[in-house]
Chains A and B, each alone.
Chain A
Amino acid sequence: MTTTVKPQVGEQVPLLDRAASIGYRYGLLAVLAVMVVVFSLARPAFGTFGNALIVLQSVAIVAVVALGVTVSMAAGGFDLSAGANVGFVVMVTASAMVRFNLTGPTAIAAGLLAGLLVAGVNVLLIVVAKVPDLVATLGTMFLFQGLALIITSGQSVSAGMTTDGVTAPGKYTSGFVWLGAGTVASVPVPVIVMALLAAAAYVFLGHTRWGRALYAIGGNPRASRLAGIRVGRYRALAYAVSGLCAAVGGILLSARLGRGDVGAGDPYLLQSVAAALIGFAVLGANKPNALGTVVGAVFVGVMISGLTMLNAPYYTQTFVQGALLVGSLVMSYTLTPGRRR
């Protein structure tokens, strides 16, 4: 067969292509910057440090969950159970403290274990039973949405609630609530957690051999196996990371709510998937990446907060997020330079 010679680096690239490539690389960041400037001019209260922290706090939990989704996507998977995982962990932590009167640290441990349990079911289905990722995690999503209802008999969990005529003995500990509402040097704790996890995910995906192996599996599982990568184990690892991130998100959400609300985790699936997918278009990565995911989450946060300040009603938020997602999908799938098919 004949081989085609692709243009080599240093060859003359038409100006238009180069402009498109620059636009693609920095487009999303530019739009983000423009948005911040415009909102700040329109509403001076927007451009303050305090508001920046508020925006970051509003997106912190989504970003944390999205980082996990990013890791599963890197390995060519897709974790649809992330939102249900968040909801399940909220219920587990709330029940641990309120109904079983356990300490804050125990509740955190229980929450993390719950997240790993969800991941375990995913791994069992995907790696052992060979069910395709999308439908397997869809099944897990239903399973744990249901389980969250069962363990709380379908009610919300809050201090002083009664189950079967017995008043719950415990309440949210102050240490646990601090995770949601506390600050360190005026920075909210969830924002700090987000920053730490983002840095960890960035290093893990971009600079460790495990991250490289995950991307390899996402790119060509057959070639990865023949290069000696144990594909099953790495896919298990990816879902475990995803489950743990969702659990951390669930713990932060539980702490912020101060109670276990039924269905609290539901919005987090779509929002975190959107953040991860928007992240594809950041700096021309064109693949799931930690930095992009955080930028994606912040992008959504800035947009919604700005529009809210401009008196856009809250019920437009979902549509705005959808439009953002669609726009960035077109950006990474259609407008990517060198991706013409």
Chain B
Amino acid sequence: MTQTAGPVVSVSRVSKRYGATRALRDVTLELRPGEVLGLIGTNGAGKSTLINVLSGVTRPTSGEIRLRGRTVELSGPLEAQDAGVQTVHQNIDDGVVFGTTVAENLTLDSLARRGAGWFTTRARTREAAREIAEAARLSVPLDAPVEALPASARQQIVIARALSRNPRLLILDEPTSTLSATESAVLLTAVRRMAASGVAVLFVSHRLSEIQDLCDRVAVLRDGTIQRVFTTPVDGPSLVTAMLGDEIEATRHEARPVGEPILLGEGMRTRPGAEPFDLRVSPGEVLGVTGLIGSGKTELLEQIYGARPLVSGALTLGDRPYRPRDPHAAIGAGVAFVAEERAAQATLPGWSVRAHVTLPRLRAHSRTGLLSRRAETGSARRVIERFGVRGPGPEAGIEALSGGNQQKVVVGRWMEGAFRLMLLDEPFRGVDVGARADISRVLREISTTTGVVVASSDPQEVLQVADRVLVLYEGTVTGELRAGEVTAERLAALMAGEGR
């Protein structure tokens, strides 16, 4: 869809520093009218920073941004909007006002406009909303309350409102991450229509298939730099390689005898509609699970832990059927879980290291209900020692520890019990190299007698500990590799859903 018109946006040599970290380095990018540019990259690659720079939320440290040929210095989101840049953020519910109708949401902007008058009438609101809805071909009843609508419809409202401001550039930040396959298809059609009307679209996503489907070009960010810009047709594996780098190395861990399976899963699915697969976890080998963000790793682990209902199939733990009702039941059966988001799912603000260590096993630290401070401190000290937790000691608040040391605590607290199976979701995220090595070492140690499953969207992290790697692509298992035989090409192909 190349047109002769000049670029809507051109970003040249833009860099952004946060202290010592360089979030963006010399990024140069152009978007033409009617073009859909895909933007893809791993966590921390710099996508958010680039979006923030374009939408006026943050100012670049150096470099130049030109909108329709004119150099601009965006000093705030409102200024970016005035210049024709509209951003629809990932969290849809930040963009709608609950407790009001669709019409009221579509016309929110007019509330803040000067000279809008003091009174709004239902008729005037409806009329304005109808125009906006028509322009965006929105097929949602205007009188419906927003909270009664599905996520996809709410998103359409947010996008329709963005379009009503006649943007030149529309930034969609992971718009499909919370949508189902059919809802995504509807959105993609809408995006194509917008592009056809001349709007430039920056489409950020982790889903390769839709990026390949939709985008005219795809820019890959890694470590703050544009690695490569692909033009259609985009080759999936090359895209993955550009995202993750090709220095992925096969890591051969020492061979150990593999014991009887601890966990067997038959006919499991990551989500309804995905293809079923079997799962085997045995002591003596760490099972790695990798795949791009949103490929179903968390769903898989949480099913085994009882944190979400089993989609399909049957599990066997040891030699007994296993179907945990909730995490409590899973822990009772000897299954441990380290959640992906430490702050939201594991730590308690203001609590000490000791209290974090003993929380999953309070009963073991108490007699007739009374907690034993000595038993608690003993456990905390053992975790601190075994993992080399650096910090002021067991009574220190968890916030006094660095991210890596906090992670050691929430991983290490499970080691005190008699666990048979340990599930870890992104255990190395936001964890420094030293802490990563400490955690890996202990995981390798315990895996001689217990089952260990480590999931990460960074295959290099998985290879650091795993003997066998399961690769997921959009909810489906695309392959299984032995860590010693992994090649970057093979991995990239499987992560891109090819080469099955």
Contact = CB atoms under 8 A, between A and B. Distances in A.
Nearest to B21: A2
A3 B404 contact: yes
Interface of A: 1-3, 5-10, 203, 207-210, 212-213, 216, 219-220, 222-230, 286-287
B403 A3 contact: yes
Nearest to A218: B348
A220 B400 contact: no
Nearest to A220: B348
Contact of B307 (A7, A208, A210, A226): A226
Contacts, number: 90
Interface stretch (B85-93, B168-176, B366-374): B366-374
B359 interface: yes
Nearest to B432: A3
Q: Chain B CB within 10 Å — which of A1, A208, A209, A220 has the most?
A: A209
15 contacts: A1-B430, A2-B21, A3-B432, A9-B393, A9-B400, A10-B392, A203-B370, A210-B369, A216-B348, A216-B351, A223-B345, A227-B360, A228-B332, A229-B328, A230-B328
Contact of A212 (B347, B371, B391, B430): B371
Contacts of A223: 339, 344-348
Interface string B332-360: 10000101000011111111000100011
A208 B370 CA distance: 4
Lowest 9 CB-CB distances: which A-B pairs, in order? A209-B362, A3-B403, A228-B331, A219-B348, A9-B392, A227-B360, A208-B369, A209-B366, A228-B328
Contacts of B399: 6
Nearest to A208: B369
Contact of A226 (B21, B327, B332, B402): B327
Contacts of B337: 226
A5 B405 CA distance: 11
B253 interface: no
Nearest to A212: B362
Nearest to B392: A9
Contacts of B119: none
Contacts of B273: none
Interface of B: 18-19, 21, 44, 305, 307, 326-328, 330-332, 337, 339, 344-351, 355, 359-360, 362-363, 365-366, 369-371, 391-393, 396, 399-400, 402-404, 430, 432
Nearest to A10: B392
Contact of A222 (B344, B350, B393): B344
A8 B348 contact: no
Contact of B339 (A209, A210, A226): A226
Given A219-B349, A225-B326, A212 B355 contact: yes
A103 B43 CA distance: 70
Contacts of B396: 8-9
Contacts of B349: 219-220
A180 to B, nearest CB: 32
A219 B397 CA distance: 14
A9 to B, nearest CB: 4
Contacts of B351: 216, 219
B346 A228 contact: no
A205 to B, nearest CB: 11
Contacts of B402: 3, 5
A3 B408 CA distance: 14
Contacts of A212: 355, 359, 362, 371
A223 B344 CA distance: 7
B44 to A, nearest CB: 7
B355 A226 contact: no
A226 B403 contact: no
B322 to A, nearest CB: 16
A19 B349 CA distance: 24
Given A209-B369, A225-B327, 14 more contacts: A3-B404, A3-B430, A208-B369, A208-B370, A208-B371, A209-B371, A212-B355, A213-B362, A216-B351, A223-B339, A227-B359, A228-B327, A228-B331, A228-B332
A83 B474 CA distance: 54
A116 B432 CA distance: 51
